[in-house]
Amino acid sequence: MKIANKKVTAERLVRDALDKAKHFSDYHIFTFLNEEGAIKKAREIDAKIKRGEKVGRLAGVPYALKDNFLSPEGETTASALILEGFNSPVTATSVAKLEAEGAIMIGRTNLDAFAHGSSTENSYYGPTLNSHDKTRVAGGSSGGSAVAVALNIVEFATGTDTGGSIRQPASFNGIYGLKPTYGTISRYGVVAMASSTDCIGFFTKTPEDMDLLMSIASGQDPKDMTTLPDYYNDTKKMNVSKARIGIIKDFDNNSVHPELRKALAKKVELLKSKGHEIVELKMPALKYGLAAYYILVPAELCSNLSRHDGVRYGFRSKDSKDLDSLYENTRNEGFMSENKRRIMIGNFVLSSGFYDAYFLKAAKARTLILKEYEKAFKKCDFILTPVSPNPAFKLGEKVDDPVAMYLEDVMSVSLNLAGVPGLAIPAGETKDGLSLGLQLVGPRRSDKNLVEFAKEIQ
C-alpha cells in the first residue's frame, strides 16, 4: 500500500480511482465523489514526498467511506432524505486516524438508509448492484463500500456492522470484511443505529491490508466510553498453523444453499489436510438470535433516530402549519419505510404493556447467546460458518417482504449480540459465478488472531 518509493504519485492513484468510480457509475456505488478534496490532498502528499518528508502508512491510498461516517468532506446523508444537506462539523475518530496516515477519501458510499437492511435497496438513492451480477443485490447495509472494493475502485472501504452489514456484503462480493470485537474501533462520529451492537470495520482484498487498517484504527477513544484499550496491537499471537475450528452442527442445514454447504465442506477438508483440528459444536441458543436481534435493535434505534426532527439540521418538510405537523411531515417524508417500520417496532417492544414480554425476554436470550459463545470457545479457537444462508439474491426479490429479508441475517446477528468478532472470507463462486463467503468467528478480543489465521489459510 505504499507509494513512498516514488514509483507512482498519489495524484495518479487518486485520479485513477476517480476515473474508475465514474466508469462504474451504473452500479450506484457512490453518493458523493470527492474530486476536488481528494486531488488536493494527493498533491500535498506528493509534495511532501518530493521534499523528503515522512509520510503516513496509508499515504496516497484512495479509500471509500460509507456514508454514515461524519466528516466535513461532502454531505453525510446515511442514504436517507432526512439528512440531505447535512454538512458535518465533526470528523469521526476512525476517519481522523485513517487520514492522519495519509489515506484519501475519494467518495462516500451508498447504504440502506441508516444501515437498516441487507441489500442496499432501502437507500433513498436506489440500490447498489452486485459486482458479480448486475441483476442481483450488493448485500447490505454497506453495499456501496463492498462493491467499491470488489470492483477495484479503491484499496479499502469503511463499513459499519450492527448485525452483518460488513460481513454479508463482503461475502456477496468475494472480499474480506471484518466486524471487530465490540468496542475495538471508536464509534464517535458514526451515525448511530443500535449503540450496543454497532461496530466499525473494513472491507479489503487481503487479510494483510485488514491487519494494517486494524492496527491503525483500533484503540481507546475518550469520545467513545465503550472503546477498549488497544489490545489489537498487543495481542499475544497464538500458533495459527494449528488451530481448533468449531463447526456448528445444529444449524438448520437445509436452509443453507447447497453450493454454500459444499463450499463449507470443502474448506473443512482443506483445514483438516493442513493439520487443523475440527470440533463439532452444538449451539442451540443461537436459534433465538434473529428474534432477539429484531427486538433489541429496533428498541435502541428508535431512540437514536428520535433526534431527527427537521428542526436543527438536514431536511425539513415544507408547508407545515405547526410544530407537531413539522415533526410528522418531516419524519414521514424523510425516513424510508424500513426506518419507520423499525421505529414503530422499537416503540412497541418498549411500551409498558409489552416491555416484559418482548424487550426483557430478548435481553435474556442475548445473555444465553453470549454464554453459549463463551462455552464454545472453551472447545475451539475459531468457529467457521456461512455468513448468510444464500449467495446474492435478485434485486426486488425480497424487498417487499421484510421477514424474508430479516431471515437472511440469521447467521450474522448473534455475533453482534455477543460482541464477538467475525471475519468474512471469500470461499469461491457458484457455478453461475456468484461469490460465496464464509465467516470465521473468534472469542472477544481475538481479532488479531482471526486476521493472522485468515492469512495462514488464504
The site string for ligand GLN over 277-316 (x = CB under 6 A, - otherwise) reads: --------------------x-------------------
Query: Is 163 or 180 the residue whose CB approaches ligand GLN more closely?
Result: 163
Query: Is 133 or 161 the residue whose CB approaches ligand GLN more closely?
Result: 161
Q: Radius of gyration (Cα) for the chain, nearest Å? A: 21
Q: How many residues form the binding site for ligand GLN (CB under 6 A)?
A: 14
Find the residue with minimal CB distance to ligand GLN: 165
Q: Are 77 and 31 in contact (CB under 8 A)?
A: yes
β-sheet bridge partners, residue 159: 201
From 163-171, 314-322, 327-335, 436-444, span contacting ligand GLN (CB under 6 A): 163-171
Of 71, 118, 145, 165, which residue is the catalytic one?
A: 165
Identify residues 208-237 at the interface with ligand GLN (CB under 6 A). none
Q: By CB under 6 A, tell whether 193 contacts ligand GLN.
A: yes
From 35-43, 110-118, 249-257, 433-441, span contacting ligand GLN (CB under 6 A): 110-118
Q: Report the DSSP pairing between strands 277-281 and 422-429.
A: unpaired
Contacts of residue 401, Cβ cutoff 8 Å, sequence gap at least 6? none
The site string for ligand GLN over 25-54 (x = CB under 6 A, - otherwise) reads: ------------------------------
In the structure grid, which three cell numbers stand for residue 100, read together? 492522519
Distance CA 26, CA 24 (A): 5
For residue 141, indicate whether it is catalytic. yes
What are φ and ψ of residue 358, in 5° steps? -110, -70
Applying CB under 6 A, which of residues 45, 70, 78, 115 lies at the interface with ligand GLN? 115
Residue among 264, 284, 280, 273 at smallest CA distance from 440: 264
CB neighbourhood size of 26 (10 A): 8
Q: Are 18 and 38 in contact (CB under 8 A)?
A: yes
Applying CB under 6 A, which of residues 164, 177, 421, 422 lies at the interface with ligand GLN? 164
Applying CB under 6 A, which of residues 118, 184, 227, 388 lies at the interface with ligand GLN? 118
Q: By CB under 6 A, tell whether 121 contacts ligand GLN.
A: no
Contacts of residue 355, Cβ cutoff 8 Å, sequence gap at least 6? 349
In the structure grid, which three cell numbers stand for residue 279, read together? 470440533
Q: Write out the residues near ligand GLN by the rule CB under 6 A.
A: 115-118, 141, 160-165, 193, 297, 409
